[in-house]
Structure 1
Amino acid sequence: MAAEAAAAERGRKVVVAIDESDVSLYALRWALDTLFIPWAAGAPDHHHERPTSSLSQLTHLTLLHVQQPFHTYFFPSGPGPAAALYTPTSIIDSVKKAQEENTNALFARALRVCEDRMVKAVTMVMEGDPKDMICHAAEQINPDLVVVGSRGLGKVKRALLGSVSDYCAHHVKCAVLIVKPPPTHTHK
């Protein structure tokens, strides 16, 4: 009991991996509404009174975004094995600036979702393969829980492309929550 009280006192650490997909923002919303705020913003709870200190104050939320690295390519510029042309610095700078702008826009959307639910969050950007970087971030942060969205790849696509959520479930050394989006209903 003393260990549980100490853990509750220090708060819980939660990492939510986000990207540009609607699935990841759905996972963030689901995590906030389910894990952080048992009384969703504006929703009355007739069975319990709101606590004086909300879960959002006792939980440390990190929003993690992993960027794909920009690979510099070499192109032949003439005959012979010694001739090569590299990607100009202006193109590299342009791509990095676009990545930074996309990341800032993504975090703005995600932080707005957190603010709407009165949850404070910190942001973290890593570069590399999302599967590996989420695992690496979990080792650095040592969270109690990592939340990832599931795109719902079919068996064939998952086998060919791999699944970030499946990989994290098997390699992250803490609890991993995979949030699936709600089924979409199509009218025929």
Structure 2
Amino acid sequence: MRVMVAIDGSDESLYALKWALDLLLVGPKDNADDVATSTGTATLEAPHAGSHENVSMVTLIHVMQPFQNYVLPAAGSAELRKEQEEKAAAILARALEICKDKMIKAETLILRGDPKDRICEATEQRHVDLLVVGSRGLGMVKRAFLGSVSSYCAHHAKCPVVIVKPPKESGKQ
């Protein structure tokens, strides 16, 4: 099974990665009730869950938004691109460390463009069996104006998509 996890550096995307590694690749643990029930969804059973031998590799994808060239002079744009690439590498290094801690092989993929489109294209090009994305929990108004990468991927990716919601914080009203 080929699994791709979208990573944008947010806590929500890193939670989705940990969720995927814990539940889909390693299998549920006896003491993992907090992870299994915090999503508020039914238990998801992957084929041969509990055995990560069926997962050849996890692909961690990060998409950098393109800059609007008319906003900055060329020299400033090149500097910002370099900074953006360094930030992307740092984000994926953090995600790779999570995979390493779980003893799961992972590869990284950094693309430039609209995250919604590029993630869907990558799943098709790489023949991904499952895409995992985190949910930022945008309200209806923000989602209408900003759009939702997870929602778009759920409707346009050519493979099954799991949208992982982070656990609700206790004490928050």
Structure 2, unaligned stretches of length 5 or more? 33-49
Q: Give, in whole Å, the separation in 1 of the partners of 2:76 and 2:83.
A: 11
User: How many Å apart are 1:160 and its aligned residue?
Assistant: 2.0
1:72 to 60, 69, 72: 69
Bigger relative CO (Cα 8 Å, ≥ 6 apart): 2
2:131 to 126, 129, 146: 146
Which residue pairs with 1:159 in the alignment? 144
User: How many Å apart are 1:185 and its aligned residue?
Assistant: 2.2
Which residue pairs with 2:121 in the alignment? 136
Q: How many residues align?
A: 155
In our comparison, the structure showing a higher alpha carbon Rg is 1
Q: After superposition, where does 1:110-125 map in structure 2 within 5 Å? A: 110-125=95-110
Among all aligned residue pairs of Structure 1 and Structure 2, give the percentage whose two residues are the same amino acid.
55
- AA of the residue aligned to 2:24: L
TM-score (norm: length of structure 1)? 0.76
Q: Give, in whole Å, the separation in 2 of the partners of 1:31 and 1:16.
A: 8
CA contact (8 A) 2:3 2:55 kept: no
C-alpha change, 1:159 and 1:13, in structure 2 (3 Å) is: same
Which residue pairs with 2:14 in the alignment? 25
Q: Give, in whole Å, the separation in 2 of the partners of 1:89 and 1:134.
A: 28
TM-score (norm: length of structure 2)? 0.82
User: How many Å apart are 1:123 and its aligned residue?
Assistant: 0.4
User: How many Å apart are 1:57 and its aligned residue?
Assistant: 6.3
Q: List 4+ stretches of structure 1 deviating above 4 A.
A: none
Which residue pairs with 2:46 in the alignment? none
Q: Give, in whole Å, the separation in 2 of the partners of 1:93 and 1:120.
A: 33
- AA of the residue aligned to 1:98: E
User: How many Å apart are 1:54 and its aligned residue?
Assistant: 4.6
